[in-house]
Amino acid sequence: MLGITVAAQTAASLAARIAERLKRCDAVMGVAAKSLTTGATVFVDADRRFPTASAIKTAVMVEVFHQMAEGRFGKDKEIVLAAEEKVDGSGVLQDLHAGLRLTVGDLLSLMMSVSDNTATNLLVGLVGTANVDRRLEGYGLVDTKLFRPTFRDGKPDVLPELEREFGLGR
């Protein structure tokens, strides 16, 4: 029992130190951490809702892998890059020629390694925004949502009122 009390006190002390440091930042942040060794957790403003920005791309990747495992398509499925699919921001596909044939594996690599927004949008188009959100809910992440493809401001696929507040995702 002593170990649990010490661990709880240590976690509380760490949470207090983190909270104090966050107060000195010009940004708004929350922290949720778990020791994979002890299982101890620290939460500081962890229930606050934040815009996801490109972090939501991890959820898109998870849904792509699930749909591949379900046999809906393979990693070698080809998708043709159309000029109207190119979007600004991070990535390289916006600079490449229309008509380029890419595989799902190529798109995953570009989305996760260089945060390519066009690759992300092509994958979101393949798996569906609502499917990404259902998968997140299935993992218990009921407050984490994807609302639309990247750089499609004001054109949400789901939950338009939240998209206005958070943008791409929450």
- Which residue in this structure is represented by tokens 């499917």? 131
What's the pLDDT tens digit per position in 112-131? 999 999 999 999 999 999 99
Q: What does the alpha-carbon distance between residue 153 and residue 117 come to, in Å, rounded to a whole number?
A: 13
Q: What does the alpha-carbon distance between residue 170 and residue 157 come to, in Å, rounded to a whole number?
A: 14
Domains belonging to the chain, first-starting first, are 2-44 (no CATH), 53-166 (3.40.710.10)
pTM here is 0.81
Cβ pair 90, 141 in contact under 8 A: no
Q: How many CB atoms lie within 10 A of CB 97?
A: 8
Whole-number percent of the chain with pLDDT over 90: 63
What's the pLDDT tens digit per position in 153-164? 878 899 898 999
Q: What does the alpha-carbon distance between residue 143 and residue 87 come to, in Å, rounded to a whole number?
A: 27
Whole-number percent of the chain with pLDDT over 70: 95
Give DSSP secondary structure letters for 123-135: HHHHH-HHHHHHH
Can you list the alpha helix ranges (DSSP code H) found in the chain? 2-23, 57-69, 104-113, 117-127, 129-138, 160-166
